[in-house]
Amino acid sequence: MANSPAHHPAFTFLRSEFIDALNVTVQEFEHKVTGAKHFHIASDNDENVFLVGLKTVPTDSCGVAHILEHTVLCGSERFPVRDPFFMMIRRSLNTFMNAFTSSDWTAYPFASKNKKDFNNLLGVYLDAVFFSRLDELDFSQEGHRLEFAEPDNAESDLTFKGVVFNEMKGAMSSTTSVLWQTLTKYLFPNNTYHFNSGGEPSDIPDLSYQDLLAFYRTHYHPSNAVFMTFGDIPAESLQAEFETKVLSRFERLEEQVSVPKAKRYFSPVRVEEGYAAEEVKEDGSHVVVGWLLGESTDLTEQFEAQLLSSVLLDNSASPLLRVLENSDLGRAPSPLCGLEDSNKEMSFMCGLEGVKRENTANVEALVLSTLEDIASKGVPQDMVDAMLHQLELSQREIGGGSYPYGLQLILAGLSTAVHSGDVIAQLDLDPVIDAMREKVQDKDYIPNLIQHLLLSNAHRVTITLSPDDALETRRNQAEKDRLSQIKAALSAEEKQQIIDRSAALKVRQSQVDDMSILPKVGLEDVPARLPEYDCEKVAGDLPVTFYPQGTNGLVYQQLVVDLPALDEEELEYLPLFSSMMTELGIGEDDYLAVQERQAQVCGGLGASNSIRATIENRQALNGYFILSSKALVSNVKAMSELLKDTMLNVRFDEVSRVKELVAQRRARREQSITGQGHVLAMTAASSRLSGLAAQQEKWGGMSGIRSAIALDDAMKADDQAVDRVLAIFKRLHGKLLHASKQVLLVAEPQHESSIIEETQSAFADIPAGTAQSDFAIPSVDERINVAWLTSTQVNFCSKAYRTAFGEHPDVAALTVLGGFLRNGFLHRAIREQGGAYGGGATFDGSSGSFRFYSYRDPRLTETLSDFDASIEWLLTESHSEDALEEAILGVIGSMDKPSSPAGEAQSDFYVQLHGRSLAYREAFRAKILAVTLEQLKQVAKTYLTKENENTAVVTSTSKRAELESIGFDIQTL
């Protein structure tokens, strides 16, 4: 045990441990009075992260924990303004701000690289969580309320409104969400996981304000809390803030919140339920088999379950996934395949989607017989070793993406912390991996795990979820009937109360708070310069660029190929080609052998495309095809050989594999609609503004989803469809082989010379390529007014306007304008008053378009009118310099958001490859900081005009007649 680190006298130091694989020290403390735990992950990283987590265990599906998470952030004792959370987003340089509701915990995290900003946010978060005002009007806004369709007319129809109510209508439009909630309902018959913690839309209106207050009093207490922090601020300083601002005002809560163990079944359970669908397809069912396992806080049990899940399902060569992928009982493996280890008790599940309803028993039998076969024959030792290798890679990798690295570490330990497990052991997996390496030498180890955890486990549930084309109609009718009954029973006084509350809420939503009581950062706190990254460029037939970065012993490698001129078919199938490139065989090896090879030497292979318009012309493009991987330093040569072999010798003759991948891709794309509806709507709205925007809609928009469905259907009907696509792939591949190439490497500086030498040696015989890069996409410049109809309970709306582009002086003002409209008008109109889960506006530099959007929105035409009203508000109202500063801060915060060390190096490489030099980016940053209110009005007048307007919505088929009557072009999948 390390020496006791400095800590506040109100806390007891428990232990500390340096974790070599993560290069951090994890310190554990306990508050003496309340028993609150504090885990501090000490690092020299200047992006500091805070999270407070609370064990929240709902006993119904009214969404109390979720609605409370929203309402808690609507004002507190020290900050009695209506919306401190969203206000602080605008007054901050945060790199992350959010709140989460899980099945059994609620968490409030934020991150910032600026110490002043971090302390500002810490004060607001601590006060919000532990001293929330919980105003009843905020509960009405965020949770649910009754309103008349015409708010001041008691004779009009009653409706349910509320942000969470609409959010969950959107969430439960996702078949995958319905499948998960249905499975957990039966896997956990008696505890909190039985219920939908987010809230079932049919149950949310049952939650009373008094229920909300009672839940807050019992769950939002330091004795039920865990504080988790990461970064270079000492634990002692953080604890002083915790003690002063919160903990000194509480005593220990004797009654502990807990999650009881699930009652175990003595024999398997089989259940069938339905999901809302446009039509009942014969092969539209989902069949999933799930088992309840042991507790996630038992690290040995957790790691055994993770290893078993990886061995069975990690890649296409894994024995269970291989059988599921190749089965003709279904279209693709279920999206639920895998281990869920974030709950107190773990669950393992697998199955198929696209199943005929009558084949449920056959799918279950297939799963069980496959497991029995694996248990009988065992698993090759190199496959088990490869899975341990993958776990080591995931342990070492410093992540990036949407979450700060420190928050990723915190979230990895949060569930364990909430359930009083060993957080340090959870984060320090090297000892467990070492112990597991010894255990797996026993050839019966994996077969025994299969037998113990699955085959001999009677707590097994088989779910069949089948399409029901009348379900949404029945659900909507039940809601209407319920509202009619409520209205019929209302007295005149109660009707007036509803009208009065609606009026009071509108007044509250429109009030202008004194924001000066909230802390803030200003433009003076913005860093003066963007970071500059060192890199070494090695010339030659195959140029190499090396970035020295702290990567915890990993090497990131990319083969970057100039995209050549492509014909129309090659262009159409480029993303499909990329998605399959690393999933097929190589040379004499079939795809199964290649999947095994990938797992043994690296963290998998990926292929992608990086395409951007030039600064000078939105219709002119630079494009690159990229093969990527990552590996331990010791495996650089093997990874390089694998990348080269993939590029040179990929096979295009595995017909059944291609059909299977197309079916899986279709399933993923169809499932993405309700989660990404706002992105799909924006993509559609801006799709006719440039050639690239049009192609992106064909690739990744609603048109792309429709094409994925059509291709899958065609391949199922006729093998000639597969042959045609494979012929296009071969042409594409041939062109790429003759195109110019280069290599990008990111690793720790001490490994530079050896890594470059091994890479150059491995790639010595790859054709460098001499073809001139003349990649292009036909130009497009048209208007659009389109409605995409699908199965959804909510709407996604967008408008897009063609604007300036590249180095034009208006681009900076357009970039700031999105945040200005969101902060000042759209958030209130679309989210608070309209009830949508989200809404805003943004400038898209890739297409040179300004785009409005709404997300999980109960309204349609009213929201489109609100987009217009925000422009009118901008042009006719007077606005403050403070509001402008907040919008500028938001842009700078997003520009400065850090990624992982490898991610930042890769990003720097590609922005320069696409012609955006550091000098160009710093000049643009200076223009952002200099934007004026007059410039915002001027660009709105210039570009946001009716004659320049493009509109797209993703909505329900029930809206067809309404949309046709106002001139929308109707499209369906």
Q: Is there a single domain that holds both residue 125 and residue 190?
A: yes
Beta bridge partners of 448: none
**647-663: pLDDT as tens digits:** 999 999 999 999 999 99
Residue 589 lies in a domain: no
Q: Is there a single domain that holds both residue 441 and residue 505?
A: no
**SS3 of 349, please?**
strand
Of the candidates 485, 392, 486, 387, the residue with the CA atom closest to the CA atom of residue 434: 392
Residue 217 has pLDDT above 50, yes or no: yes
C-alpha torsion 894→895→898→899, nearest 10: 90
Percent of the chain residues past pLDDT 90, beyond the cut: 86
Rounded Cα gap, residues 302 and 968, in angstroms: 52
Give the 3-state secondary structure percentages of the chain, helix then strand then coil, rounded to 5.
50, 20, 30
Residue 133 near residue 76 (C-beta atoms within 8 A): yes
Residue 2 lies in a domain: no
**573-591: pLDDT as tens digits:** 999 999 999 999 999 999 9
Cα-to-chain-centroid distance, residue 954: 20
User: What is the arithmetic mean of pLDDT over 160-175?
Assistant: 93
Q: Is there a single domain that holds both residue 184 and residue 298?
A: no
Rounded Cα gap, residues 726 and 845, in angstroms: 34
Residue 122 near residue 105 (C-beta atoms within 8 A): no
Q: What is the DSSP letter of 6?
A: P
pTM listed for this prediction: 0.91
Residue 153 near residue 771 (C-beta atoms within 8 A): no
pLDDT of residue 771: 63
Residue 543 has pLDDT above 80, yes or no: yes
pLDDT of residue 749: 94
Q: Is there a single domain that holds both residue 853 and residue 806?
A: yes
Q: Is there a single domain that holds both residue 346 and residue 211?
A: no
**Measuring CA to CA, how many Å separate 428 from each of 30, 354, 465, 611?**
20, 40, 39, 39
User: What is the arithmetic mean of pLDDT over 412-417?
Assistant: 94
Q: Is there a single domain that holds both residue 824 and residue 866?
A: yes
Q: Is there a single domain that holds both residue 237 and residue 344?
A: no
Residue 844: CB atoms within 10 A of its CB come to: 19
pLDDT band at 433 (very low <50, low <70, confident <90, very high): confident
Residue 229 lies in a domain: yes
Rounded Cα gap, residues 214 and 207, in angstroms: 11
Domain boundary among 517, 549, 578: 517
- For 971, the token pair is 């499209």
Residue 229 has pLDDT above 90, yes or no: yes
- For 835, the token pair is 């009830």
Beta bridge partners of 623: 611
Residue 638 has pLDDT above 80, yes or no: yes
Residue 656: CB atoms within 10 A of its CB come to: 12
Residue 226 near residue 39 (C-beta atoms within 8 A): yes
Residue 560 near residue 771 (C-beta atoms within 8 A): no
Rounded Cα gap, residues 378 and 370, in angstroms: 11
**Measuring CA to CA, how many Å separate 706 from each of 202, 262, 354, 816?**
31, 42, 17, 34
Q: Is there a single domain that holds both residue 227 and residue 282?
A: no
In terms of DSSP bridges, do strands 554-562 and 621-632 run parallel, antiparallel, or are they unpaired? antiparallel
pLDDT band at 191 (very low <50, low <70, confident <90, very high): very high
Q: In 426-443, which positions are buried (b, 16+ CB within 10 angstroms) versus exposed (e)?
A: bbbbeebbeebeeebeee
The CATH number of the domain where 503 resides is what?
3.30.830.10
Residue 553 has pLDDT above 90, yes or no: no
Conformation bin of residue 11: beta by default, left when phi > 0, alpha when psi is -120 to 50: beta
Of the candidates 466, 473, 555, 14, the residue with the CA atom closest to the CA atom of residue 282: 466
C-alpha torsion 696→702→705→709, nearest 10: -130
**Measuring CA to CA, how many Å separate 205 from each of 61, 165, 829?**
10, 8, 23
User: What is the arithmetic mean of pLDDT over 943-955?
Assistant: 97
- Beta strand residue intervals within 158-284, DSSP E: 158-161, 225-231, 269-276
Percent of the chain residues past pLDDT 70, beyond the cut: 99
- Residues designated as active site: 69
Q: What is the mean pLDDT of the chain?
A: 94
Helix axes 881-895, 918-929, angle to 10 degrees: 160
User: Which residues are CB-contacts of 378 (< 8 A; sequence separation ≥ 6)?
Assistant: 443, 444, 446, 447
- For 45, the token pair is 């990283």
**859-873: pLDDT as tens digits:** 999 999 999 999 999
Rounded Cα gap, residues 452 and 454, in angstroms: 6
Residue 640 lies in a domain: no
Residue 385 lies in a domain: yes
Residue 946 lies in a domain: yes
Rounded Cα gap, residues 150 and 160, in angstroms: 13
Residue 592 has pLDDT above 50, yes or no: yes
pLDDT band at 845 (very low <50, low <70, confident <90, very high): confident
What is the domain count for the chain? 3
Residue 728 has pLDDT above 70, yes or no: yes
C-alpha torsion 789→790→794→799, nearest 10: -40
Q: Is there a single domain that holds both residue 335 and residue 460?
A: yes
User: What is the arithmetic mean of pLDDT over 946-956?
Assistant: 97
Longest distance between any two alpha carbons in the chain, whole Å: 86
Of the candidates 63, 230, 209, 189, the residue with the CA atom closest to the CA atom of residue 139: 209
Residue 566 near residue 573 (C-beta atoms within 8 A): no
CA atoms within 13 A on the CB side of 609: 25
**SS3 of 758, please?**
helix
Q: Is there a single domain that holds both residue 279 and residue 215?
A: no
Residue 568 near residue 780 (C-beta atoms within 8 A): no
Rounded Cα gap, residues 913 and 616, in angstroms: 15
C-alpha torsion 326→329→331→333, nearest 10: -60
Residue 701 lies in a domain: no
Q: Is there a single domain that holds both residue 286 and residue 219?
A: no
**491-506: pLDDT as tens digits:** 999 999 999 999 999 9
Rg (CA), the chain: 28
- Beta strand residue intervals within 250-404, DSSP E: 269-276, 285-295, 332-333, 338-340, 345-355
User: What is the arithmetic mean of pLDDT over 19-30?
Assistant: 92
Residue 540 exposed, middle or buried by CB count within 10 Å (0-12, 13-18, 19+): exposed
**466-479: pLDDT as tens digits:** 999 999 999 999 99
Residue 554 near residue 393 (C-beta atoms within 8 A): yes
pLDDT of residue 791: 87
Residue 36 near residue 222 (C-beta atoms within 8 A): yes
pLDDT of residue 511: 86
Rounded Cα gap, residues 912 and 894, in angstroms: 19
Residue numbers of the domain that contains 857: 785-972
Residue 682 lies in a domain: no
User: What is the arithmetic mean of pLDDT over 780-809?
Assistant: 94
User: What is the arithmetic mean of pLDDT over 78-93?
Assistant: 91
Conformation bin of residue 553: beta by default, left when phi > 0, alpha when psi is -120 to 50: left
pLDDT of residue 255: 86
The DSSP code sequence of 489-552 is: H--HHHHHHHHHHHHHHHHHHH----GGGS----GGGS-SS------EEE-SSS-EEEEE---T
The DSSP code sequence of 624-682 is: EEEEEEEEEGGGHHHHHHHHHHHHHHB----HHHHHHHHHHHHHHHHHTTTTSHHHHHH
In terms of DSSP bridges, do strands 225-231 and 37-42 run parallel, antiparallel, or are they unpaired? parallel
Residue 184 near residue 262 (C-beta atoms within 8 A): no
Residue 556 near residue 745 (C-beta atoms within 8 A): yes
Residue 1 has pLDDT above 50, yes or no: no
Rounded Cα gap, residues 181 and 436, in angstroms: 33
Handedness of CA 893, 899, 901, 902 (dihedral sign): negative
Beta bridge partners of 786: 952, 969
**Measuring CA to CA, how many Å separate 894 from each of 180, 617, 840?**
33, 25, 15
Q: What is the DSSP letter of 222?
A: G
Handedness of CA 873, 876, 880, 884 (dihedral sign): positive
Residue 760 exposed, middle or buried by CB count within 10 Å (0-12, 13-18, 19+): middle
Rounded Cα gap, residues 890 and 664, in angstroms: 38
Q: Is there a single domain that holds both residue 832 and residue 900?
A: yes
User: What is the arithmetic mean of pLDDT over 834-841?
Assistant: 94
Rounded Cα gap, residues 902 and 553, in angstroms: 12
The DSSP code sequence of 938-961 is: HHHHHHS-GGGEEEEEEEEGGGHH
pLDDT band at 898 (very low <50, low <70, confident <90, very high): confident
pLDDT of residue 521: 92
pLDDT of residue 401: 62
Rounded Cα gap, residues 951 and 943, in angstroms: 15
